[in-house]
């Protein structure tokens, strides 16, 4: 049997396979409340055989939304709207996960569907953004530097959102510390110019992430806690795989059990070269250096390609984004590509379509 379709033990719970759905913003909510679009969108991937379905970047406070149309978990109406969506994912055999997020200086931006770019002005439904330092992402509005009380409030907001996420039925909580959003902004020396206990040394830059991990652990002790990190800023003087590996080790000591290794997003001048499997080497480096379970993501689009990443020992899990959008039954197809169609969890309703081995 393939590695891709072998089950995985995570913090005492079993995930049915190692082909997961990466979080993907849908920019389709009103007041942070998920709706019918999110329900159909996420449930279809569970029918399509995913091991874990991770719901999109979900803001822990309103000002943490990337766009005004992002989903959230800062109030109980949002929690209650998530609950049937989460149940639909679980009913189809996948583990429901959610990415808890705060966009920091990259918040309050136009959704891609508007055709506009950059920051949404306050008088058009946007808001004042916050960041570790008052340094803007190129082309976006200036953020205000968080003071220590503001940092404490961010930690509490992550914990409160974690409680709501668990109440809604989510089993995996992924902290979004990648792609240039708030937790990554604290990690990277390119965006964190603070001179207090949250800036300067690696320990100080990692302090907020570790506090959030501690707070979420305490608030949701039974949830599977994972972290998505960018393993490099792809920019001179920025965040890199060595710093990532050190912080991942610390995060594991604080109770995170899995690390979803992505890259980039912090600065507009990043020099990123994409292509099939373009971030796999980063996952492999973190896995080897930190000795933790990691996921590889980025242009992994076929069963054999995914299987070879696992067989090489570069990652424990494959996450995919766009391939699930092209083919919501990606896992069913991947098993067929690997010559073992029955290894995928075909819904009984669809088995008549399953190819013979
Ligand atoms: C429509 C779309 C929305 C995305 N939204 C998020 C998000 O909410 N959080 C996140 O960490 N990454 C997000 N990403 C990045 C994906 O999770 C993934 O890392 C990236 O697309 C690379 O994987 P792929 O080549 O398999 O698509 C998004 C990507 C797409 C295409």
Domain ranges, residue 205: 8-353
Of 348, 287, 340, nearest in space to 3 by CA: 340
Asked whether residue 123 is domain-assigned, the answer is yes
**Which band of pLDDT confidence, cut at 50, 70 and 90, is reported for residue 7?**
very high
Residue 231's Cβ-count burial label (10 Å; 0-12, 13-18, 19+) is buried
pLDDT of residue 141: 98
Residue 192 pLDDT exceeds 80: yes
pTM for the model: 0.98
Asked whether residue 3 is domain-assigned, the answer is no
Asked whether residue 84 is domain-assigned, the answer is yes
Q: What is the mean pLDDT of residues 2-10?
A: 98
Q: What is the mean pLDDT of residues 50-70?
A: 98
Domain total in the chain: 1
In whole angstroms, what is the distance from residue 83 CA to residue 191 CA? 36
Mutate to test the pocket of ligand 1, among 25, 175, 321, 327 (most ligand atoms within 8 A of CB): 321
Asked whether residue 215 is domain-assigned, the answer is yes
pLDDT of residue 163: 98
Asked whether residue 1 is domain-assigned, the answer is no
- Are the C-beta atoms of 57 and 321 separated by less than 8 Å? no
pLDDT tens digits for range 48-59: 999 999 999 999
Q: Which CATH number do you get for residue 296?
A: 3.20.20.70
Compute and round to an integer the Cα radius of gyration of the chain. Answer: 19
**Which band of pLDDT confidence, cut at 50, 70 and 90, is reported for residue 189?**
very high
pLDDT of residue 357: 76
Asked whether residue 239 is domain-assigned, the answer is yes
In whole angstroms, what is the distance from residue 98 CA to residue 105 CA? 21
pLDDT tens digits for range 288-304: 999 999 999 999 999 99
Of 295, 299, 307, 297, nearest in space to 334 by CA: 307
pLDDT of residue 67: 98
Of ligand 1's atoms, which has the minimum distance to the CA of residue 297? 23
Asked whether residue 135 is domain-assigned, the answer is yes
Q: What is the mean pLDDT of residues 113-139?
A: 97
DSSP count for the chain of H helices, then E strands: 10, 12
> Over pLDDT 90: what percentage of the chain?
99
Identify the residues whose C-beta falls under 6 Å from ligand 1.
22-25, 56-57, 99, 176, 178-179, 228, 262, 297-299, 320-323
Q: What is the mean pLDDT of residues 146-175?
A: 98
Asked whether residue 2 is domain-assigned, the answer is no
**In angstroms, what is the span from residue 148 Cα to ligand 1's centroid?**
31
Mean pLDDT of the chain: 98
């Amino acid at each position: 049997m393939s590695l891709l379709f072998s089950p995985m033990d995570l913090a005492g719970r079993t995930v049915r396979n190692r082909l997961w759905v990466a979080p993907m913003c849908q920019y389709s909510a009103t007041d942070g409340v998920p709706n019918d679009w999110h329900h159909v969108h996420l449930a279809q991937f569970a029918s399509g055989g995913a091991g874990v379905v991770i719901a999109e970047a979900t803001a822990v406070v309103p000002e943490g939304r990337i766009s005004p149309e992002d989903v959230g978990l800062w109030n109980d109406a949002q929690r209650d709207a998530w609950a049937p969506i989460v149940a639909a994912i679980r009913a189809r055999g996948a583990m429901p996960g959610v990415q808890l997020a705060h966009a920091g200086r990259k918040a309050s931006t136009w959704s891609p569907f508007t055709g506009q770019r950059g920051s949404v002005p306050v008088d058009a439904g946007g808001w004042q953004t916050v960041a570790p330092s008052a340094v803007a992402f190129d082309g976006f509005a200036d953020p205000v530097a968080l003071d220590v009380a503001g940092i404490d409030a961010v930690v509490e907001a992550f914990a409160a959102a974690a409680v709501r996420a668990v109440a809604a039925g989510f089993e995996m909580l992924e902290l979004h510390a990648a792609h240039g959003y708030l937790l990554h902004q604290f990690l990277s020396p390119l965006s964190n110019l603070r001179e207090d206990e949250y800036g300067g040394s690696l320990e100080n830059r990692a302090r907020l992430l570790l506090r959030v991990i501690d707070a979420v652990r305490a608030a949701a002790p039974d949830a599977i806690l994972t972290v998505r990190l960018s393993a490099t800023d792809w920019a001179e003087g920025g965040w890199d795989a060595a710093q990532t590996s050190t912080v991942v080790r610390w995060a594991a000591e604080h109770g995170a059990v899995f690390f979803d290794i992505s890259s980039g997003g912090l600065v507009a001048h990043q020099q990123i070269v994409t292509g099939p499997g373009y971030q796999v080497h980063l996952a492999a480096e973190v896995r080897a250096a930190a000795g933790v379970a990691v996921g590889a993501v980025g242009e992994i689009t076929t069963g054999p390609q995914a299987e070879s990443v696992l067989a090489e020992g570069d990652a424990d899990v494959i996450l995919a984004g766009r391939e699930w959008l092209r083919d919501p039954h990606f896992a069913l197809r991947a098993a067929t590509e690997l010559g073992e169609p029955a290894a995928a969890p075909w819904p009984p309703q669809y088995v008549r379509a399953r190819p013979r081995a």
